[in-house]
Structure 1
Amino acid sequence: ARIAVVREAVGEAAYAAGHYAEALAELRAAKRINGATAYLPIMADCLRAVGRPQEALKLAKSPGVRNFQPAAKAEMTLVEAGARRDLGQMEAALATLEAAPLMSRSRESWVVRLRYAYADTLLAAGRERDALAWFHRAHAIDSDEITDAAERADELERRAE
């Protein structure tokens, strides 16, 4: 029997390598051993990746999520919105993101990623003007350029000309 930290490390490595079923199994084992909820967003994303968005949504509503720090809460919000999109529930995906702190004054990467996901979901819902505004908002605080928000905004502006 492996210890939780080893299971966690193997799970995170499997996740990074795109081996989602293996990552899910390892992270579930780690959670069983130590009861930690920190793995929930990755586990939910693994469920999405293996085609089980309904289960990802159930995990997103786990009681422990309420106590997450803002970055972890944002991560779970992104997974939940993605699962809604997987299920064709575009309005529910937008509502999920709209309930998040999109207008946070923080410039941390989790805010950038929330704004970017919101812009992308608006675009997928056919709301190009709104999407453009949110790609600009994401880019405005994306000093590390973790997204292609600037390019996406440029593309939308060219389309509008």
Structure 2
Amino acid sequence: MAAQLIDTDPALAHEHALAASRRAGRVAVVRESVAITAYAMGDFALALRELRTYRRISGRDDQIALIVDSERGMGRPDRALEEARAVDRAALPTATRVALAIAMSGARLDRGETELALGELEIPELNPDVAFEWSPALFSARAAVLEDLGRTEEAAYWQERADVASAALGHGEDDEVIIEDVYEDLPADEPEDRPEEPEDLADAEEPTE
């Protein structure tokens, strides 16, 4: 219920997460849900506490971007950057690494370091011609920083790329953005064309973990 309500009624989603926490407070995903709903409500202190508990229970850093943003919400950009630098970014999943770059860029903006904020977004995933799930947010973040720097033409270009990526990902429309997220992990010798769906789905191979 928390997952279903988070976008439409964060307060009610938070109540569901708290109810789950009272019954299963030692389960990592429960503490994660409390953290996410608290963040959605702007309760950054509670979000931080629950995120740290989640990380301790799970041993995972996959919510590091939310930790950084919560520190920002508490008005502590220095602490936010310290948290970000404490993790091995190369070991993070790509989507998490991109979200962390965006959060770190925001922390730099909080400190008035606009050029450094732009530098935080200079990551390999910043490709305007390829769209993945994280691309619209990354492109929009770059557009916002460029706007702050007064580079309005570049900002407009990256915002347009964000809009195109979002439309292509959401509606499957062909454009200059190539949707590659389904095939990003294929070996180099695999064909790039979409494979034909087997006539008998029961004969399809089970996906490997």
Classify the TM-score, shorter chain: 0.7 to 0.9
Secondary structure, aligned partner of 1:101: coil
Structure 2 residue aligned with 1:65, among 78, 85, 89? 89
Q: Which residue of 2 aligns with 1:150?
A: none
User: Contact conserved, 2:62 with 2:93, CA < 8 A, in 1?
Assistant: no
Q: Which residue of 1 aligns with 2:99?
A: 75
TM-score under structure 2 length normalisation: 0.64
Q: Which residue of 1 aligns with 2:143?
A: 119
Q: Which residue of 2 aligns with 1:46?
A: 70
Structure 1 residue aligned with 2:46, among 22, 29, 33? 22
User: Contact conserved, 1:7 with 1:27, CA < 8 A, in 2?
Assistant: yes
Asked if 1:7 is matched to 2:22, the reply is: no
Cα distance, 1:65 vs. partner? 2.5
User: Contact conserved, 2:55 with 2:61, CA < 8 A, in 1?
Assistant: yes
User: Contact conserved, 2:143 with 2:156, CA < 8 A, in 1?
Assistant: yes
Distance 1:134 1:40 in 2: 25
Structure 2 residue aligned with 1:133, among 128, 135, 157? 157
Higher helix share: 1
User: In the alignment, residue 2 of structure 1 is paired with which amino acid?
Assistant: G
The C-alpha deviation readout for 1:27-71, integer Å capped at 9, x for no partner, is: 111212232111211111100111011111112223333211211
C-alpha RMSD over aligned residues: 1.9
Distance 1:54 1:70 in 2: 24
TM-score under structure 1 length normalisation: 0.82
Q: Which residue of 2 aligns with 1:55?
A: 79
Distance 2:129 2:82 in 1: 30
**Highest RCO, 1 vs 2 (Cα 8 Å, sep ≥ 6):** 1
Pairs aligned (count): 145
Matches within 5 A, 1:74-113: 74-103=98-127, 105-113=129-137
Q: Which residue of 1 aligns with 2:189?
A: none
Distance 1:45 1:63 in 2: 15
Distance 1:79 1:13 in 2: 18
Cα distance, 1:6 vs. partner? 2.4
Cα distance, 1:99 vs. partner? 2.9
The C-alpha deviation readout for 1:104-155, integer Å capped at 9, x for no partner, is: 654223111111100110001111111111111112211149xxxxxxxxxx
Unaligned stretches of 5+ residues in structure 2: 1-23, 172-209
Distance 1:2 1:136 in 2: 44
Which is worse superposed, 87-96 or 132-141? 132-141
